[in-house]
Each structure stands twice: as C-alpha cells, then as structure tokens.
Amino acid sequence: MTVPRLIRPALTLLAATVVLAGCGADVDDPARPSDPADAVRVTNCGAPLSVPATPRRAVTNDTGITEMMFALGLTGHMAGYTTYEGKERDVATSPWRADFTSTRSLGTAFTREVIQAADPDFVFAGWNYGFKESTGVTPDWIRGIGATPYQLTEACRQPGSTRRGITRPLDALYDDLTNLGTIFGVRDRAAALIRDYRAEVARAAAGAPPGDRRARVFLFDSADPTPFTSGRTAGPDEIIEKAGGVNTFHGLDDSWTSVSWEAAAQADPQVIVIVDYGTGPSNTVQAKIDALRAQPLMAGTTAVREGNFVSFPYAALVESPRNPATITALAAYLRGKGL
C-alpha cells in the first residue's frame, strides 16, 4: 500500500533557501554553477548526489549502516547514531564494539526531533532503515534542514515502486563503501576494504558445490504472523549464494519482505538461517526454532526435521561490512553438514 507523501512544514521553504545558498545538499544536475567548486559528486540510488564539503556531523541509523562508517575509520566525523530496541546483540558481537561505545548514541528513535537536535550535515539511512513517509523522515526532509541525505543502496527503491533493491547485495555494499570513501576523503581505505572483502568472498565461494547440488536455504527473520524473509535484492540472498546455497525466495524481486507459510514450506528448505536479535522472550533463536517446529507446515520440512538451524546477528545479514565474514561462516556450516 502506498503511503501518501507528507506535506513538509513551512520550515522547509526557509531551509531550502539555505540549501540553495550552498550550505546543504543538492541532488539535481551536479554540473550546476551553484555547486561549490570543491563539491564531491557521486551516484546514489541511480541519481546524482552532490556533497558540498566533507561532512563533519554525520548521523546514521541502524547498526549495519553505522558499522560501515566505523569500518572506514569515520567515528571522528559522526555526531551520533540511532538504533532500535532489540539490537543489543548486534553491538555485543560487533567487531567495532569500541566505536559504538565511543560514539554518541542518539537513542532508539530516528525522528525529526532527534535528527534536528544532533545538527547533522550528513544523514545516512535507507528506506525502511529509517526513511519512511509515515514518520516524515525522508531524503527530501533531510535536504530541507540543510543536510545531505545518503540512502543505503540495499534499500534503494525500484523505479516507480516501493520495492527495494536495484543491484546485487554485495555490489550495493561495495558501491556504498566507494561512495563514502569519496565523500569523506578516505578512498584508499575504502578500496582496501573492498579488496579484502572480495578476496574473502572468493575463498568462501571456491568450495561451493555445483548449482544442481546446492542446499535450499530459507532465511527466517520473524513471523507476524507470516514469515518475514529475504528476496533476491537483500543481503541474505547473496550471502547464501556465495556460501554455496540457494535462497528459497530468490525469485522475489524485493528486499526484506513477507511471504506465506505455504510458500516457505513448499520450498522444503534443507537449512534455515535465523536472524538473532537476542532480546525478548519471543525473539530469541530458541523461541524461533520452537515456533518453526510447532508450525504444522514447516514441521515437515527437511531443515526442521533434521534440526539444520544456524543463526547470525541482524547486522551480519543486512548490508554491512560483516557480510563477507558471514559468507565464510555460513559456507563452513554448509560444508560441515555435507551440503
């Protein structure tokens, strides 16, 4: 269902004047004479994005997005980050746990009030990763307060649709790291990370079986009441593929999305990957395994009958610098199961 576009308050008109004066972001023609001479220009979600100067007060939303900044060594350029309730497991398992500790937490609400109070010059989020018409926090609104909005590529909306994902998931990660490296003046760091990640993915993929022998893998995030899973444009699809499996919902041209129990069971997954949020009695890995075993349709699937469950933190499965290590770990699990 399409959510009606929210009408921006009168403040937007005043803020837009400031933007046109060169203090904010411009996503129109990057060759416009009004652009500062030292503006950095990249392509984000298929559109030109001009950043007038190196951001000094970046705000990020969600753990995977924030970890991209940390991986690039950009904590000193951040005004803070927001996350959501239930992401404690992400922070506890993060290779950048010290950065989470040393960077200002803005809480668990990515709202207009929280963002404005942080006085950002750059805001990195994504559709359904913070940007939502229902809250009024959109890229247009970010521009209206004089900051540059940068959209997570995994969550770019497809033209003419609210479906998300316009490229393969790992390409999305590499594109964002490249763009951030350009915007923040750390191109060499970004290039080195991408080289390392490509090498790790290649090592993991080298042991994958032929296509006709690949394990059927179902990504299970949650059920409310139907399963929430990954189509072919979300991170888990390529994580599963490079690890040597086949995402049972690869045929869905969408990112994270809901499906039916009938469709999930009909695919007869051999392995189920569970998203571990780590909090709440109904959100633990064991609670999700118990729910799958109790679900009449899923109970008969190969994965449930044989107990083939493997879990990873949320931040390891959405677009993030953890993706290559997740591929390595999932490949090891599949090989260990003879799959």
SS3 185: coil
**CATH value at residue 225:** 3.40.50.1980
Q: Does residue 294 share a domain with residue 181?
A: no
pLDDT in tens, the chain (339 residues): 333 333 333 333 333 333 333 333 444 443 344 557 789 999 999 999 999 999 999 999 999 999 999 999 999 999 999 998 878 889 999 999 999 999 999 999 999 999 999 999 999 999 999 999 999 999 999 999 999 999 999 999 999 999 999 999 999 999 999 999 999 999 999 999 999 999 999 999 998 998 889 999 999 999 989 999 999 999 999 999 999 999 999 999 999 999 999 999 999 999 999 999 877 777 899 999 999 999 999 999 999 999 999 999 999 999 999 999 999 999 999 999 999
Please state the domain count of the chain.
Answer: 2
Residue 29: its pLDDT value, please? 42
pTM of this structure: 0.88
**CA–CA dist 232, 157 (Å, integer):** 14
Q: Quick one: 163 and 66 in the same domain?
A: yes
CA distance 61 to 47: 21
Domain ranges, residue 282: 210-336
Does residue 205 fall inside a structural domain?
no
Residues 22 and 110 occupy one common structural domain = yes
128 sits in the region (left: phi over 0; alpha: psi -120 to 50; else beta) called: left
